[in-house]
Amino acid sequence: MALEPGSTPATEALARLAEERVDHRFKGLPPDAHGLTVAELAAQRRNLFTDGFTTPVLALSAEHLEHNLRLMATYTTRHGLAFAPHGKTTMAPQLFQRQIERGAWGITLAVPHQVRVARAFGIRRIFLANELVDAAALRWIADELATDPSFEFVCYVDSVRGVELMDAALRGGTERPLDVVVELAAGEGARTGVRTEAECAAIADAVAAAPTLRLVGVAGYEGEVPEADPERVHAWLRRLVALAVDFDKAGRFQGLDEIVISAGGSAWFDAVADVFAEIPGLSSPVLKLLRSGAYVSHDDGHYRKLTPFNRVSEEGALEPAFRLWAQVVSRPTREQAFVNAGKRDAAYDLDLPFAQVIRRGDTERPATGIEVTALSDQHAWLRTAPEADLEVGDWLGMGLSHPCTSFDKWQLIPVAEADGTVVDYIRTFF
């Protein structure tokens, strides 16, 4: 199909999202919006509390989302870091687009399906923070590289066997070699990645011997450093940089336009900024690639505690952007209440949700004396102190912990301004 003048496959695909019909597939949306397109519903600027949304409903704060996107764009620019935010957090092409518009180099992903989603929405640069040994996926990536000269793709290698499998899958099927970085494990007992520098060199040798692959750098994930503290994380990041320096001295990066060194989630980007600032001159310019993902929505639990902005508060602060609204459906005793949101709706792998505010009619007040003590599939269990004023029908607004396992429970998420006006809807693809 011919594109409109001035449009790209990315803008066309995003425009098609706005034309999607709202119906029973999307939890929490107003039943009387059935059949409207997302664009039509957004144009109505409905109020989250009074215009037909049903509980439970997860909302993103328009202001906090925008603040977080801008803050990390500013932070990475200030520290000379390129940014490939981890897209697995949101799997939301509209947010990928906003990240790219704010200067991100590309998008990080974890598995082939996620790459397909990003490609369907025109993402040009993808960093796959995983070894890719799936032959069907490799052949598809090779096709994408062949048909789109502007597509750039980098993935991990962490074993000689992996290199051999990749090379075998790509033989005869790739015009451009596939770019890879050696993944250095974050220490003994860490997750994936090569344990020793000697093994890293052996894998780099295997890549050099594979005509279908090209070594472009090194990478790892400091979020997996065992018993992480600032000292251990800095030490591991220095090891990663030293590995790049050694590889460069050994001529492994000869002929590259750019050498990739990548690390960084949302818990230690200050350490990444510190250590990457000390990277010495190498034989080619270095792409210092940060991969934070959870920062987009931030949270009220895990990342609130871990955010580097607690250490570098002069550089700003992220704002928690999620609030899950549920309704009190049972108040069997003075000490107990139940709302109609459970494991289907809220992240619970790191912390339970946090009761924050109560709405009765159009008044909102702090959820004093209310604590979420457990989640069933479709209920949250609340313990209420004597002073808690809570009755059946009240709406309870809860903060969440862990963005990655919050986004994945919702396919179309209203974005609401502080007064409840819903201005947009974010589509996710998990």
Return the number of the residue (207 or 294) whose C-beta is nearest ligand PLP.
294
Residue selected from 162, 265, 353, 420 as contacting ligand PLP according to rule CB under 6 A: 265
Name which of 321 and 337 has its Cβ closer to ligand PLP.
321
Asked if 86 interacts with ligand PLP (CB under 6 A), we say yes
Stretch of 133-141, 198-206, 226-234, 285-293 contacting ligand PLP, by CB under 6 A: 285-293
Task: Pick between residue 76 and residue 89 the one whose CB is nearest to ligand PLP.
Answer: 89
Distance in angstroms (rounded) separating the CA atoms of residues 420 and 386:
30
Q: Coil, strand, or helix at residue 68?
A: helix
d(CA 248, CA 217): 9
> Which residues in the 366-425 window bind ligand PLP by CB under 6 A?
none
In whole angstroms, give the CA distance from residue 322 to residue 206: 45
**Element at 66 (helix H, strand E):** helix 62-78
Under rule CB under 6 A, how many of the chain's residues touch ligand PLP?
12
For the record, the structure tokens of 322 come out as: 């999620």
Structure tokens at 102: 């704010």
* Pairing mode of beta strands 125-131, 152-157: parallel
Question: CA-CA distance, 158 to 195, in Å (whole number)?
Answer: 9
Closer to ligand PLP by Cβ: residue 37 or 192? 192
327-330, Cβ contacts within 8 angstroms, sequence gap of 24 or more:
327/55, 327/56, 327/393, 327/394, 327/395, 327/396, 328/390, 328/391, 328/392, 328/393, 328/394, 328/395, 328/396, 329/379, 329/392, 330/392
Q: How far is the CB of 360 from ligand PLP (least distance, A)?
A: 36
For the CB of residue 266, give the shortest distance to ligand PLP in the complex, in Å. Answer: 3
- Does 253 help bind ligand PLP (rule: CB under 6 A)? no
Minimum gap (Å) between residue 158 Cβ and ligand PLP: 11
Span 288-327, contacts to ligand PLP by CB under 6 A: 291-294
Residue 221: beta bridge partners?
none
**Choices 49-57, 263-271, 361-369, 405-413 (CB under 6 A): range interacting with ligand PLP:** 263-271
If the CB atoms of residues 221 and 410 are measured against ligand PLP, the closer one turns out to be: 221
How far from 270 is each of 61, 83, 172, 263, 300, CA to CA, in Å? Answer: 25, 14, 43, 11, 20
Smallest distance from the beta carbon of 179 to ligand PLP, in angstroms? 17
Which x/- pattern, by CB under 6 A, does the window 45-84 give for ligand PLP?
----------------------------------------
Residue closest to ligand PLP, measured at CB: 265
Strands 395-399 and 322-330: antiparallel
Which 161-190 positions form the footprint of ligand PLP (CB under 6 A)?
none
Residue closer to ligand PLP (CB basis): 223 or 414: 223
Sign of the dihedral through C-alpha 187, 190, 193, 198: positive
Minimum distance, C-beta of residue 110 to ligand PLP, in the bound complex (Å) = 7
315 vs 74, 96, 276, CA distance in Å?
9, 24, 17
State which residue, 217 or 293, has the beta carbon closest to ligand PLP.
Answer: 293
Residue 93 vs 223, nearer CB to ligand PLP? 223
Sketch the per residue contact string, 102 through 141, with ligand PLP: x for CB under 6 A, - otherwise: ---------------------------x------------
Positions touching ligand PLP (CB under 6 A) are 86, 89, 129, 221, 223, 265-267, 291-294
